[in-house]
Amino acid sequence: MNDQHQDERARIRDAIDRLLAGKPTRSDGSLTAVALAIEADVHRMALQKRHVDLKEEFYARVRTETHQPPEVEKRLRQDVGRLKASLKAARDSEAEAWRRAEQLVLATAVLTYQESRYGRPAALPNNVTPMPSRDL
């Protein structure tokens, strides 16, 4: 490792300690990788690519020292909950559409059968409006 790499790692470790102690000097103090990169004065992608082990160490320490999941995990859990609710609503809507489609197919089959059997359209209930004829 070169000196710049070692210097970045030392700054990241110091930044981890400051953030967990609640004494940030450069960032907003949130327990995120972005705040860690700002606090350590390293590019965010350097933390994500070259120093993945330190980022994981940071999240592990957040879990153990604060007894709570990292902010990223909290947001992801909220997103998962929101997406599950949205998926359930979409599935319920799809099931209702299938139910209605089945009812329409059955009603069409009954009307078609009655018309073919009796040679004339069956008497329609008062809540059904017949479609106009397509005779040209």
Cα distance between residue 61 and residue 80, in whole Å: 24
pLDDT tens readout for residues 33-82: 899 999 999 999 988 899 999 999 998 888 888 887 877 888 899 999 99
89 and 52 together in one domain:
no
12 and 59 together in one domain:
yes
pLDDT (0 to 100) of residue 65:
86
89 and 107 together in one domain:
yes
Domain that holds residue 47: 3-68
52 and 83 together in one domain:
no
Helical axes 33-40 vs 52-66, angle rounded to 10°: 110
Q: Provide the domain count of the chain.
A: 2
27 and 81 together in one domain:
no
pTM listed for this prediction: 0.53
35 and 48 together in one domain:
yes
Cα distance between residue 101 and residue 49, in whole Å: 52
Cα distance between residue 34 and residue 45, in whole Å: 9
In 3D, which of 81, 78, 80, 73 has the Cα closest to residue 31? Answer: 73
37 and 53 together in one domain:
yes
pLDDT (0 to 100) of residue 17:
92
pLDDT tens readout for residues 75-124: 899 999 999 999 999 999 999 999 999 999 998 888 888 777 776 666 66
